Amino acid sequence: MKRYEPILGLLLAAALVAAAIAAPWLRFVLTIALAKGIAVLGILLLLRAGQVSFGHALYIGFGAYTVAFLAPRFNDGVLVLLAAAAGAGLLGLVVGLFVTRYRQIFFGMLNLAMCMVFYSLLEKLYHFTKGSDGIRVEIMPIAGQALDRVTYEWTVFGIALGLAFVLGFLLRMYLASPMGEALAGIKTRETRLEFMGVPARGILLSAYVISAIVGGLGGALIAMTSRHVTPLLSYWTASGELVFIAILGGAGGVLGPFLGAAAYELVRVYAAASFADAWQMILGTVLLLVILFAPGGLWGMAARVLGGRGR
Amino acid sequence: MSEALLRATGLSLAFGGVKAADGIDLDVMKGEFLAIIGPNGAGKTTFINMTTGYLKPNAGEITYDGRRITGMSPRAIVKLGIARSFQLPQLFLEHTVEQNVALAVASRHGIWSPLVPLLRPGYREEARDLLARFGLSAIADSRADALNEGARKLADIAMAVALKPRLLLMDEPTSGVAASEKMLIVETLVNVLRDAKVTAVFVEHDMDVVERFADRVAVWSQGRIAALGPPGQVLADPAVQREVIGIERHATPPGAPHA
Ligand SMILES: Nc1ncnc2c1ncn2[C@@H]1O[C@H](COP(=O)(O)OP(=O)(O)O)[C@@H](O)[C@H]1O
Ligand SMILES: [Mg+2]
């Protein structure tokens, strides 16, 4: 199965590009999907360790507001992306030092708590954040090039796709490395790691920092695409959405988050257009079906079709 | 064989009213194979747990190679060259047997390499070699949660051996291993350990194994060492026969969770 991953990745990328060319409005939806897929890579890492974070919208919001605050100052898309990644990584380190002491439900809920604190700060510090009105993000030059709107949107789409590839590739190597396999060892036998001289908490913390960085990048890309940030980016439902996408896509491989995010965004857009009041119900039903009948998610289903284990 | 590698003095640890260790004094000599025997609940596992940093004694101290290790973390103690296997095997259940052993190999070289595969040529061969020596080649690609009790036990020991320790503590290495394969497996294990000049302490219920492979035997009873000496002498002692071996014959297999 692993062998097919790069080819399937290329096919998926080609399909996304084709869709974005065919229907310009899909370009927006798919850029958001790629951004969320990138963030969900972080959820996937933590799932490997058997941990579920219900608070990773914290890093989405942090990355997005970093763009909103710094874009006017830095005036370059590449620089704000780097700043969002670095800032989210630092925040992840600080929060991670605390939350990686805990496991299971405590880990999940502490992440949720952190996210809620951040959300209310965004709401309450009106003077700074403009509260629930949010902040507009103007089109910015990218790598020194001033761009018109369409070129800008294509460029952000391209950056999202490129980052998805590079990060997916790197994380795929990471998961098969001693560090990544030790991370998976936390799920089944954390104490054995200690008896092998491996600091389990350090392993989890490094995964957590990576998850924060990709969360920040995802949030920054969302801000650059939607060009408007609000505290809702860090609302608890947004955290749940990331977990939803991770389960929908499947945690067995790095393509899962992108399959999940694309499916999620497309279902959401079409369902919202066709059944304005029922789209949450449709998504809920989809999730229920996936959990009951395809616990490996979309990636697991693809893997079964191609004859493999999905991991 | 004259120098102590591990020295325990006055080790004591009580759980509530139960004295799991009650003034243990023991020297483990460099290069020796020391068997620990004694009834269930005597405190054998507790001794291993204290030596490997999992439990902290209430009193007494442990030195390893002249260095005090009491109170150190399991991680720090492993780094000094003390490894252990477990009464209840502690495997990474969702990994294959080969990956389990390769992780132990990797942990020796430093686990912090994020971009090179765990099953890189060097590690993979080392893991495969070790599995071959343990007769586990056929199940190298099986997931650990699919193994039978005996194979799990051996894989667990192979992981400890993969750490290349100077001192290896094994908690009931042959329990769960089929009687027909037991002697062969222990012999293989002993050869691996002798080749690597490993000092070994092992908790054992099979007196044939003890008699054949141990240089010395320590008899545990209610947190104390009741007798210590060469197997021929200790196992012939009528008190030991009555209190330990007699009980052993009728003892049910230990079922309590052990770290
Ligand atoms: N972590 C623990 N908490 C409470 N009691 C324990 C713990 N570990 C061992 N004991 C008790 O200490 C005594 C010795 O246990 P143990 O060392 O496991 O014996 P053995 O390995 O010789 O069968 C037993 O009475 C056991 O119930
Ligand atoms: Mg025991």
Q: What is the dihedral of CA B48, B49, B53, B59, to 10 degrees?
A: -90
Q: Which residues of B touch A178 (CB under 8 A)?
A: 103, 106-107, 111-113, 116, 118, 123
Contacts of B147 in chain A (CB under 8 A): none
Contacts of A87 (CB under 8 A, 6+ apart): A62, A63, A66, A216
Please give the C-alpha separations between residue A86 and each of A46, A142, A204, A212, in angstroms, as whole numbers.
19, 18, 19, 9
Q: Among 2.40.50.140, 3.40.50.300, 3.40.50.720, 3.90.220.20, what is the CATH number of B4-85+165-251?
A: 3.40.50.300
- Look up the pTM and report it: 0.93
Q: Which atom of ligand 1 is nearest to the CA of B43?
A: 17
For residues A246 and A40, is the Cβ–Cβ distance under 8 A?
yes
Query: How many angstroms separate the CA atoms of A192 and A185, rounded?
Result: 8
Contact call for B107 and A196, based on CB within 8 A: yes
Residue in B93, B113, B114 closest to A189 by CB: B93
Residue A40 reports pLDDT greater than 80: yes
B103 in contact with A at a CB cutoff of 8 Å? yes
Q: What is the pLDDT of residue A1?
A: 62
Least confident of A217-226, B85-94, B188-197: B188-197
**Chain B residues touching residue A198 (CB < 8 angstroms):** 75, 103, 107, 111
The values of phi and psi at residue A288, to 5°, are -60, -45
Residues of B in contact with A180 (CB under 8 A): 114, 118
Residue among B75, B55, B65 nearest B6 (CA): B65
| B118: contact with A, CB 8 A cutoff | yes
Q: Tell me, what DSSP letter sits at residue B251?
A: P
Q: Domain ranges in chain B?
A: 4-85+165-251
In a domain, A249, yes or no: no
Find the DSSP H helices in A100-148.
104-124, 126-129
Closest ligand 1 atom to Cα of B42: 22
Q: Which of B12, B36, B44, B46 maximizes ligand 1 atoms within 8 Å of its Cβ, making it the mutation to test the pocket?
A: B46
* Backbone torsion region of residue B43, taken as left when φ is above 0, otherwise alpha when ψ lies between -120 and 50, otherwise beta: left
- Which helix (H) or strand (E) segment is B59 a member of? strand B59-64
Q: Is the shortest distance between the CB of B44 and ligand 1 below 6 Å?
A: yes
Sheet holding B82-84, edge to edge: B82-84, B167-171, B199-203, B33-37, B216-221, B224-229
More reliable by pLDDT, B258 or B125: B125
B 196-235 → A contacts, CB under 8 A: none
Do you know the residue count of chain A?
A: 311
Residue A275 falls within a domain, yes or no?
no
Q: What Cα–Cα distance (Å) separates residue B240 from each residue in B37, B55, B78, B173, B245?
A: 10, 28, 33, 22, 7
Q: Tell me, what's the ipTM?
A: 0.90
Q: What's the domain range around A222?
A: 2-235
Confidence of residue A291 (pLDDT cuts 50, 70, 90): confident
For the stretch B192-250, pLDDT in tens is 999 999 999 999 999 999 999 999 999 999 999 999 999 999 999 888 888 776 655 54
Determine whether the interchain pair A178/B111 forms a contact, defined as Cβ–Cβ distance below 8 Å. yes
pLDDT band of A154, cuts 50, 70, 90 = very high
Chain A within 8 Å of B99 (Cβ-Cβ)? yes
- Between the CA of B62 and the centroid of ligand 1 the distance, in Å, is 19
Q: Which residue of A has its CA nearest to B84?
A: A195
Q: Tell me which residues of chain A have a C-beta less than 8 Å from any C-beta of chain B.
A: 170, 173-174, 176-182, 184-185, 187-189, 191-199, 203
Helical axes A24-48 vs A178-194, angle rounded to 10°: 30
Is the model's pLDDT at A82 over the cut of 60?
yes
Residue B256 has pLDDT above 50, yes or no: no
Mutate to test the pocket of ligand 1, among B12, B18, B243 (most ligand atoms within 8 A of CB): B18
Please provide the distance, in angstroms rounded to a whole number, between the alpha carbons at the two ends of chain B. Answer: 30
Structure tokens at A49: 């360790």
Tokens 């989809």 found at: A286
Q: Is the pLDDT of residue B252 over 70?
A: no
In a domain, residue A279? The reply is no
Taking the CA atoms of chain A, what radius of gyration do you get in angstroms?
19
pLDDT of residue A58: 98
At residue B193, the pLDDT reads: 94
d(CA A79, CA A117): 27
Amino acid A2: pLDDT: 72
Neighbours of B32 (CB within 10 A): 16
CA dist A191 → A90, A100, A194, B51, B158 (Å): 28, 15, 5, 16, 17
Q: Is residue A157 part of a domain?
A: yes
Our count of domains for chain A comes to 1
What band does B70 get if pLDDT is binned at 50, 70 and 90? very high
Spatial distance between the Cα atoms of A291 and A250, rounded to a whole number of angstroms: 10
Q: Which structure tokens are listed for A180?
A: 């990544």
In a domain, A38, yes or no: yes
Q: How far is CA B105 from CA A166, B42, B124, B259, in A?
A: 29, 33, 9, 22
* Model confidence band, residue A114 (pLDDT cutoffs 50, 70, 90): very high
Non-local CB neighbours of A64 within 8 Å, separated by 6+ positions: A84, A219, A220, A222, A223, A229, A233
Note the helical H segments in B86-178: 97-109, 121-133, 149-162
Average pLDDT of A234-250? 95
Using an 8 Å Cβ cutoff, are A89 and A215 in contact?
A: no
pLDDT on residue B246: 67
What residues have their beta carbon closer than 5 A to ion ligand 2?
Answer: B 44-45, 87
Q: How far apart are CA A12 and CA A262, in angstroms?
A: 10
Alpha carbon distance B153, B134 (integer Å) = 11
- DSSP symbol at B114: S
> How many percent of chain A have pLDDT more than 70?
98
